[in-house]
Structure formats: structure tokens, C-alpha cells
A and B are shown apart, each in its own frame.
Chain A
Amino acid sequence: MKMNPQSKWGWEVAAYLFLAGLGAGAYVFGVLVDLQGWSDAVARIGVILGLPCVFIGCMFLVLDLGTPSNFWRAAMRPNTSWIGRGTIIISLFMIINAVHIAFWIWPFGSVLQGADAARNFIAVLGVIFAFGTMVYTGILLGAARPIAFWSTALLPLLFLVSALSTGAMAIALIGTLAGVEHEVIAPLIRIDTLLLILELIVLGFYMQGTHRVEESRASAQLVMAGQLAGMFWFGVVAVGLLVPLFLDLLAGAAAWSAVLGSVCGIVGGLILRKVVLAGGVYAPLKAGRFEYALPRQ
């Protein structure tokens, strides 16, 4: 019996999952650099990258709606729906992020200059909601119980690690292109090296954990040996993880390797979301000895 994956959440939703993760991840590293006092420029890149990325991601999501004019209803049922909860989390994140950015731009900047305690408070609050933004998407997918590939505690962790990693690489990319000296970027790249290794491990456990039920085995088959195998092995594993990892390890000191590695890693993050979405196979219906694949829809 051939079981079918979902087909209604495609590139638009993948782009949202990716951009929301990247934006929140970049924000977290911006705050980290700011609090550590490593570099004002890098801190600003990270914090200012958060809002537009998450916002553009939300636009992709609105684009995917069947009735976009009703988008504002997304937060009407936060008591039961993870889309509702997520809408509140990302809205608060964007608001806090906007306030944080205001500390650095005219006309607020001159007024708030030196209000470091307030900025640090906003930063801590922002980091909490940034983690919410990175993690909730995995929980949201996991709430779709007939799709066992998504209903696992490792998915939020995978999305979290990937979001932090793509966020760090986005800062490294833009920072390098903007001419920030490499000594300031280097610590971020070293953190990202560890994140890439961690992501490989989490991805390995995530795929290993699919053995439990037949629909998630079918997902693993689809992802690792079926229609999505090219995207998975080439896009996610090779381009998204191994290339930036080896560039970090072998040529970490060069600007060109930071740019190339970051671009590859960021593209890999987008493809990872697409592969996870497209690999979501529905559980079969069971009646006695018979098992029925849900028709493709």
C-alpha cells in the first residue's frame, strides 16, 4: 500500500517556517553579541534582521491562505489552536523587536541613548519570544496527529537548532558583505560550527525516530530514498550542513568562506522546512485486516 503525503502546505509555508526561524535566530545572536559587548555593528545587524524576516515570512503565510482577507482571525482561538498561539507569539516578538530597534534609530535613539537597563530588559523579553517563535512551529506541526513524521518532540528541537544556525549565518553573511572586520564575525562562526554539528545529530535522531509507526516509516522512505531524496541528501545534508561545516572548519578565517558557507547553510535551512512539510505522510485508516491510504489531497 502506498500512503500519501499532505500536499496543501507547500513552499509558502516552508518559506514562513524558514524566515520566522532565521529572523528569531538572528535576533537572539544580535542580543547575545550586544550583551557581550563584542561588536555594536554585529549586534545591530542581528536585532534589525529579526523583524523584517519574520514579517516577510508572515506575508508568505497570508499569501498561502485561501481567504487572505480573514487573516486577522488567526488569533481567535489561542486556547486550543497552535496557529492561534503562534500568531500571538510572533506578533509580540515583532512588537518587542520593533521597540528594540527603536533604541538605535532617529528620533527615538537620541532620547533613549544610555537607557541600557531598559534596552537589556527589552532584549531579555525579546529573546524569550524569539525562542517561542523558533520552537512553536515544530509544536504546531506536531499537533497534526495523523502525520506521525511531525508528531515528535524532536521536530521543535530540529527547528530550533536550524533557526539558530541560519540566524547566525545570516548575520555572518550580511556582516561580511557590509565590511565588518572578520575578527568580530569569527566567534559567531565558531558557535555556528557547533550548531551545525548539533543539527546533524538532531537530524539523525529525527530520522531514526521514524521507525515507530508505518506512516512515519513511509515518510522516512519518501525523504531518504523516494521523491524527496535529492532535496534531502543534496539540499539539506550536503549543501545545508556539510558544506558550511567544512568551510567553517577548514577555511574559517577567510571572508569568502563565511559568505559561501552562510549562503549554502541558509538555502539548506529553507529546503529542510520544505522536506519536512512535503514528507508528512498521513496515517492509513484501519478496518480489520485492511489498511486504506487516504487519497492524495
Chain B
Amino acid sequence: MPRYGFVIDLKRCYGCYSCQVACKAENCTPKGIDWARCIQAEVGQYPSALRQMLPTVCMQCDDPACMTVCPTGATTKDENGIIQVDKKLCMGCKYCIMACPYGARQVVANWETYFPDAPGDLDPYEAYAKKRWEEGRAGYGMATKCDYCMHRVKEGRNPACVDACPAKARYFGDLSDPESEISILIRRERGFQLNPEFGTNPSCYYLPPR
């Protein structure tokens, strides 16, 4: 049984937001939902100030806080270690949004257009995205999240954000295989998990910044 995971190399990320846009394009997420995200931080004062980006996805934790608090049973961990939310079972209580330390759970009530000033109905591209979103595994009024693009992975491809990253800062693979690229990277390059104090054992590892 695989345990799919990510390695994100912080040395390599320069904050172009390609992952965020690629995720939107691939999954047709509405405004307000970003399953892949880039967050920015600065330390120090001029002239020794530094800026560092932190790209995030769902950490697909081994012991997920969102699943613990979910009252409906809509949240499950599948055989690949991916945390799934069942559209039919979620009641939209938003407790998982409070419990996830990584901001991976997001909810929208309805489709808000990106172009509110445009005349007439949604343009054909946005109408297509809206239709894909409504017919897909996510929807309105429910907790939605990244699933490491399982529809692509099942075809033998990488998640969209991995293929889109121009800096090659993102690696996708199987954590349960000690010889996989990501397992080797974590061992050799001092991979670490974000905020381990929350005890969720994330499947997304980071390689240290400079």
C-alpha cells in the first residue's frame, strides 16, 4: 500500500505561484479556494532582511486532525494515504477548518465569478470550470481539500502543481518505499515536517531553506 507524499525544496522555490495557478486550472476550483498555495514570510531588518516562500498543499497527515474532529464520517483516509471528503456525507460544519493546522480545508457557499463587472452570463471558460467543479468530487457548502490530483496519479502522471513548478522544487512519490526519490531526499537533505507539535505526522516534507 503506498503512502503518497510530497517533498518541497524551500531552497528552490522563488515564489512564482505557478503551483497555485496550475492547481486552479487542473481542478477548476472557485474563487476563494486554493488547494495549493504559496505563503510568504520575511525575517530580519534591512540590510540583512530575507524573504522566503512556503508552498503548501494538503499534508495528507497520517493522523489527521480533520478526520478526528469530523462528526459526520465524511472524512476518510483511503488506501493510498489520501484524506478524502465524501460530498454526499459532509454537512459543512467547518469544524475541520478550525482543526487543520495547515489551512488545507476550505469552503465556499457558491460560485463567485472572477469577473463581476463583465456583462452577461459567465464566459464559456468560467462556465466550463463551474460545471466541472459542480460535477466533481467537491462542491458548495462542504469542506474541500487537495487530494494530490489522484485522477492524474492513477494515470501515472504527477500532480499538476509538481509538473508546473519551473524551479523543480516539488517532488511527488511514495513515502512507504524507502528507495523512492522523496524518501531518499528526506533522508539525505534533512527533510522536515511543518509544525510537528500538532502531532498529525504530515506526509508532506520540506527541505530547509538557505
Secondary structure type dominating chain B contacts? loop
B interface footprint on A160-187 (CB within 8 Å = 1, 0 otherwise): 0000000000000000000000000000
A70 in contact with B195 given A65-B93, A288-B209 (CB within 8 Å): no
Known: A67-B91, A74-B91, A80-B68. A290 touches B52 (CB 8 A): yes
* Separation of A294 and B56 alpha carbons in the complex (Å): 10
Residues of B within 8 A of A (CB-CB), count: 48
Contact, CB under 8 Å: A146 / B100 = yes
Does B140 sit at the interface, judged by CB under 8 A?
A: yes
Q: Which of A74, A77, A80, A145 has the most CB of B within 10 A?
A: A145
CA distance A146 to B68 in the complex (A): 14
Contact A285–B73 (Cβ < 8 Å): no
Interface SS of chain A: loop
**B41 close to A1 (CB less than 8 A):** yes
How far apart are A26's CB and chain B's nearest CB, in angstroms?
A: 26
Answer whether residue B98 sits at the interface, using C-beta atoms and an 8 A cutoff: yes
Chain B, Cβ-Cβ closest to A13? B94
Contacts from A to B (Cβ < 8 Å): 1, 6, 8-9, 64-68, 70-71, 73-78, 80-84, 87, 140-141, 143-147, 280, 282-283, 285-295, 297
28 A-B pairs within 8 Å (CB atoms) are namely A6-B97, A8-B97, A65-B91, A66-B141, A67-B92, A68-B92, A71-B91, A73-B71, A73-B73, A73-B74, A74-B91, A75-B71, A76-B71, A78-B71, A80-B67, A81-B68, A81-B70, A87-B71, A143-B69, A145-B198, A146-B100, A280-B98, A289-B43, A291-B41, A291-B43, A295-B37, A297-B97, A297-B106
